[in-house]
Amino acid sequence: MKRYPLWKHLLVATLLVLAALYALPSAYPTVPALELRGASGPLLRDAATTLLDGADLAHAGGRTEEARAFLTFDAVDDQIQAFRLLADEFEGEAVVALTSLSSAPAWLEGFGAKAIALGLDLRGGVHFLLDVDTAFAVDRFMGSAREVLDGAFDEEGIAAEVELRPGPVLAVVLADPAQLRDAVDLITTTEPRLTLLEADGTIEGRLEGLALEQVIELAVGQNVETLRRRVDELGVAEPTIARQGDDRIVVQLPGLQDTARAKDIIGRRAALELRGVDEAASASQARIDRALRGFRSARTELMPYAGGSGHVFVDRRIIVTGDNIVDASYGSDEAGRPAVHLALDAVGANRIKAYTRRNVGQQMAIVLLDRDTAEVISAPRIESELHARFLIHGGGMDVAEANELALLLRSGSLAAPIDIVEERTIGPSLGADNIRKGLGAVTGGFILVAVFIAAYYGVFGAVSVAALVANLLCLTALLAVLGANLTLPGLAGFALTLGMAIDANVLINERIREELAAGEPPGSAIEAGYARAAATIIDANVTTLIAGLALFALGSGPVRGFAVVLCLGIATSMFSAVVVSRAFADLVYGVRKGRVREVSIG
């Protein structure tokens, strides 16, 4: 038997050591932990441990980073109790999030070795698929284009009616058709993104092609940013917020407990506007009734007060929008009522200054727009000129509402409303259950297969089992290094891979048996077995790979997790069957002096 070259042995040994190293962290259990995010990690940790000790709550250990601190616990119950306490105590100062930490020793992290990331179905949490209302984004764009063009025509002295028609189409009706050329030029320079169509004195502008994509892209991108900021405030460790396709956003919040609050905070558009109030009109019940019956006014619109106490006419013109808000925090006013403190950027500050200077003594409405509703939170009287910083209160906001409003204003409004089109919530107990059952299937499958193969093929069976262990290590290490999320179907894929991987060894072992039966001496039988089975093994995996890749391309979530494990498993099992088991066989039979007289292959 020709010896397996030394360099191949060394290569196999190196790869296996690396695989073991990177697979090792996944073998350590995770421990329940809390993540605290705030100004200073060490200070947070000190404050938290003092609080926990004071309340007689058990905690195990922890570590700190610059702006984060982690506390670990021995039991989930301790973790939850500590979470409730700390979330209350640190409200507004720091974000407290439930999480879990690997108990792997620190030196492993020095190599960059991390435990496999667990999918939501294994760790518990919420998965939302959000659909962005792109039609809204387009409407909004057209609306602002209308305003801009209206102003531009006024400035240039072109008499034109700019109106928004369904489609949406921006129709510019010229008083003097001779000005058509000038009007087209003006539109092209002020809003080049519109595609224009001219027909007898009317210019129609549409949003098409690339420009349309850009507007949608911008809206979805801004929504992702807003959601990221909102989720940051929710107290979730390691959230995922990502675009999916053209107009979808995936939000995954591991370990989240309060899903109702999450939905509320994620789904709200929360656009804030400050507008003038038409007090005379608001005082007239007759006009309110008329407006409620559907009568529309060009300059003002009727809006209800939040909390359902009456209506008020507000200007259609907006003084300042939420886009000008740079910070919002909740607090209280001089009378001790809950209020939200706002800070505006320079543009916003200039506008509010100019408006309030001219309108001292008048009312100003604070309008909150959500998906289908527009409400006036309050309409306080302007007592003096306002600057960049001021506070709003009203509507009988309680502390929680003021806090939530501040959060929403701070994180910005959604550029376009979103709908939850898919939700998958996994409770923490089911997540733990799934891990237990998934691991049970993998371990059970491994033991059954290993016993069967070892019994059937003797020493070569043991070689096959060793290759199976190598396969397990390589697959675990690969998943951990690639950062792929392991899901329950992924764990099932693990078990399935173990069962299917044996096929390669069976092909080799059966081939060796045949070569032996045909009278080949043991050494060359082994060699021929490996050499001739290799091509068949590759062949045998092609179709499973086709299925795996199709599943990956078309599947989502957990199914994709299965596809990843299936495809990677094919790669690792081919490697371990053809290369690793060959090295093991060489170690068993190749080191003997002289010819191999007998092969134990059942």
Partner 1 sequence: MRFFNPKRNFRVMRHRGRTAVLSAVLVAVSLAALAIRGPNFSVDFTGGTLVEVAASASMDAAGVRAALAAAELPEPLVQTTSDGAYLLRLQTDDQEAGAAVLAALQAADPAAELRRIEFVGPQVSDELFTAGALALVVVCAGIVVYLSLRFKWRMAVGAIVANFHDVVFILGTFSLFGWEFNLAVLAAVLAILGYSVNESVVIFDRVRENLRKSRANVAIVEVLDASITQTWARTIITHGSTQLAVLAMLLFGGDALFYFALALTIGIFASIYSSILIAGPVALRLGLSREDFLNPTKAARDGAVV
Contacting partner 1 (CB under 8 A), which of 75, 346, 448, 482?
Answer: 448
Tell me if residue 3 falls in helix, strand or coil.
coil
CA pair distance 490, 64, nearest whole angstrom: 33
Asked if 470 interacts with partner 1 (CB under 8 A), we say no
Whole-number minimum distance, CB 258 to partner 1, in Å? 11
Whole-number minimum distance, CB 373 to partner 1, in Å? 16
Asked if 304 interacts with partner 1 (CB under 8 A), we say no
Tell me if residue 275 falls in helix, strand or coil.
strand
> What residue has token string 């929504």?
223
Q: Which of residues 226-265 bind partner 1 (CB under 8 A)?
A: 259-260, 263
Rg over CA atoms, the chain: 34
Whole-number minimum distance, CB 577 to partner 1, in Å? 12
Residues in contact with 580: Cβ distance below 8 Å, sequence separation at least 6, in sequence order: 12, 16, 466, 467, 470, 471
CB-based burial of residue 131 (10 Å sphere; 0-12 exposed, 13-18 middle, 19+ buried)? Answer: middle
Asked if 441 interacts with partner 1 (CB under 8 A), we say yes
Interacting span for partner 1 (CB under 8 A) from 75-83, 384-392, 532-540, 572-580 = 532-540
The DSSP bridge partners found for residue 260 are: none
Asked if 495 interacts with partner 1 (CB under 8 A), we say yes
Residue 43 carries which DSSP code?
A: H
Length of the chain: 602
Q: Which of residues 131-160 bind partner 1 (CB under 8 A)?
A: 131
Contacting partner 1 (CB under 8 A), which of 197, 499, 592, 595?
Answer: 499
- Please compute, for residue 536, the number of CA atoms within 13 A of its CA located in the half-sphere on the CB side: 15
Q: Which of residues 399-428 bind partner 1 (CB under 8 A)?
A: 419-427
Asked if 453 interacts with partner 1 (CB under 8 A), we say yes
CA pair distance 148, 152, nearest whole angstrom: 6
Asked if 354 interacts with partner 1 (CB under 8 A), we say no
Asked if 445 interacts with partner 1 (CB under 8 A), we say yes
Query: Is-contact 305 351, C-beta < 8 A?
Result: no
Whole-number minimum distance, CB 504 to partner 1, in Å? 9
Size, binding site for partner 1 by CB under 8 A: 78
Asked if 205 interacts with partner 1 (CB under 8 A), we say no
Q: Which two tokens stand for residue 178?
A: 């001779």
The DSSP bridge partners found for residue 205 are: 170, 196
Asked if 554 interacts with partner 1 (CB under 8 A), we say yes
CA pair distance 40, 434, nearest whole angstrom: 36
Asked if 351 interacts with partner 1 (CB under 8 A), we say no
Whole-number minimum distance, CB 457 to partner 1, in Å? 8
Whole-number minimum distance, CB 277 to partner 1, in Å? 34
Contacting partner 1 (CB under 8 A), which of 161, 550, 592, 595?
Answer: 550
CA dihedral (430, 434, 435, 440) positive or negative: positive
Query: Is-contact 16 35, C-beta < 8 A?
Result: no
Asked if 540 interacts with partner 1 (CB under 8 A), we say yes
Asked if 520 interacts with partner 1 (CB under 8 A), we say no
Q: Which of residues 104-123 bind partner 1 (CB under 8 A)?
A: 121
CA pair distance 275, 376, nearest whole angstrom: 10
Query: Is-contact 98 255, C-beta < 8 A?
Result: yes
Asked if 332 interacts with partner 1 (CB under 8 A), we say no
Whole-number minimum distance, CB 532 to partner 1, in Å? 5
CA pair distance 136, 52, nearest whole angstrom: 48
The DSSP bridge partners found for residue 195 are: 206
Asked if 489 interacts with partner 1 (CB under 8 A), we say yes
Asked if 488 interacts with partner 1 (CB under 8 A), we say yes
Q: Which is nearer to partner 1, 121 or 404 (CB)?
A: 121
Both ends of the chain: CA-CA distance in Å? 20
Contacting partner 1 (CB under 8 A), which of 511, 523, 573, 583?
Answer: 511
Q: Which is nearer to partner 1, 412 or 548 (CB)?
A: 548
Asked if 353 interacts with partner 1 (CB under 8 A), we say no
Contacting partner 1 (CB under 8 A), which of 404, 548, 578, 584?
Answer: 548
